[in-house]
């Protein structure tokens, strides 16, 4: 039995693969493409260590995590040109520090309000479309 917590980000198991696709590792985090793409370009930046709160990080780790989030936001802006990027760090049901980066578009879904974590109906893509998005984001991030 692994000493890892029962956390999909730490175990990188099927629960994670069902929700997102790994794009790349950055300084202290890993960037994932969220499979639900109602908001084109939606990503998650997950801290590589198992902590739940920003205040659990040292100042250096916090700065590096926020640099990773910022780097990812810049890539999303460059590739998808959203009017705004929403940032969500909830962790109520999944206690691991991660931030949703949700591009928002004027007159698009949830413009002017909080995005829905898992909208119904979900907008899922074909495997080739995910592969293309991951490749474009990986290139923009590296």
pTM of this prediction? 0.95
Mention every residue, 6+ apart, whose C-beta is less than 8 A from residue 5: 50
Please, which pLDDT band fits residue 101 given cuts at 50, 70 and 90? very high
Please, which pLDDT band fits residue 1 given cuts at 50, 70 and 90? very low
CATH at 125: 3.30.428.10
Could you tell me the residue range of the domain that residue 99 belongs to?
8-141
Give the model's pLDDT for residue 119.
Answer: 87
What is the tens place of the pLDDT at every residue in 21-48? 999 999 999 999 999 999 999 999 999 9
Give the model's pLDDT for residue 2.
Answer: 60
In a domain, 2, yes or no: no
In a domain, 36, yes or no: yes
- C-alpha of 59 from chain center: 22
In a domain, 42, yes or no: yes
In a domain, 1, yes or no: no
In a domain, 128, yes or no: yes
- Neighbouring-strand partners of residue 43: 33, 101
Q: Which two tokens stand for residue 59?
A: 């100042």
Domain count, the chain: 1
In a domain, 3, yes or no: no
In a domain, 118, yes or no: yes
On the 0-12 / 13-18 / 19+ scale of CB atoms within 10 A, 90 is: exposed
């Amino acid at each position: 039995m692994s000493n890892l917590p029962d956390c999909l980000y730490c175990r990188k198991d099927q629960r994670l693969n069902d929700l997102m696709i790994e794009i790349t590792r950055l300084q202290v985090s890993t960037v994932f493409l969220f499979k639900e793409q109602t908001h084109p370009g939606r990503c998650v930046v997950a801290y590589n260590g198992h902590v739940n709160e920003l205040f659990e990080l040292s100042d250096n780790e916090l700065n590096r995590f926020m640099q990773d989030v910022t780097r990812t936001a810049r890539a999303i802006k460059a590739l998808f040109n959203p009017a705004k990027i929403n940032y969500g760090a909830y962790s109520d049901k999944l206690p691991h520090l991660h931030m949703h980066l949700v591009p928002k578009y004027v007159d698009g879904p949830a413009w002017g309000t909080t995005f829905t974590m898992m909208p119904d109906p979900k907008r899922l893509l074909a495997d080739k479309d995910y592969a293309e998005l991951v490749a474009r984001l990986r290139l923009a991030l590296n």
